Amino acid sequence: MKISINGNTLELKIGDITKQTTDAIVNAAIGTLLGGGGVDGAIHRAAGPELLEECKKVRRDLLEGELLATGKAVITGGYNLASKHVIHTVGPVWHGGANQEEKLLADCYRNSLQLAAANNIKSISFPSISTGVYRFPVELASEIALRSIREFLNEGRFGDVTMMLFSDIDFGKFQSSLEKLVQQ
């Protein structure tokens, strides 16, 4: 499913984000930036050891050894990936919604898009952030993600945004949320 927003495109796809050829892919990272499971591990494996080395440097130099805060974003090279860049963002762990999880998830999308635009990136692919081991409900996450992306794309010219979803179930939930969003 693909729609146009203010001269930009937003598309939903099912597949492997590490195979995307957009200018950047977004990594649902852990705060250490040292790789983990799920999307994070897959991106690190596909990109090769140079990504880990750059992440260590970013953590040491930019973050002064601290963890990347939830909702924030940093950029690295893509190395062995088809994408030239990886934007790393840490999604919130779902605790029932009482700990600003919705705001923090929106921050992940918004900050990643702002960082992409600041680096002249014209196409980007996102996974469904926080809906795996962080247990964020997919239906709610899809509404937040798509609303955040639409708000950003409505602000001006960016390019192409792809939501690269892992399963038919996730695709169906995102498609339903996108259809509702288009009707608003």
Could you count the other beta carbons within 10 Å of the beta carbon of residue 38?
Answer: 16
Number of domains forming the structure of the chain: 1
Long-range Cβ contact pairs of 49-56 (< 8 A, separation 24 or more): 50/77, 50/79, 50/80, 51/76, 51/77, 51/78, 51/79, 51/86, 54/79, 55/88
Q: pLDDT digit string (tens) for 115-169?
A: 999 999 999 999 999 999 999 999 999 999 999 999 999 999 999 999 999 999 9
H/E stretch holding 96 reads none
H/E stretch holding 13 reads strand 8-14
In the annotation, is 160 catalytic?
no
Catalytic residue among 40, 61, 160, 170: 40
Q: Considering the entire predicted model, what is its pTM? A: 0.96
d(CA 24, CA 16): 14
The amino acid sitting at 6 is N
d(CA 184, CA 178): 10
Which pLDDT belongs to residue 184?
A: 81
The amino acid sitting at 173 is K
* For range 87-113, the mean pLDDT: 97
* For range 18-43, the mean pLDDT: 96
Which CATH number do you get for residue 97?
Answer: 3.40.220.10
What range defines the domain where residue 29 resides? 2-183
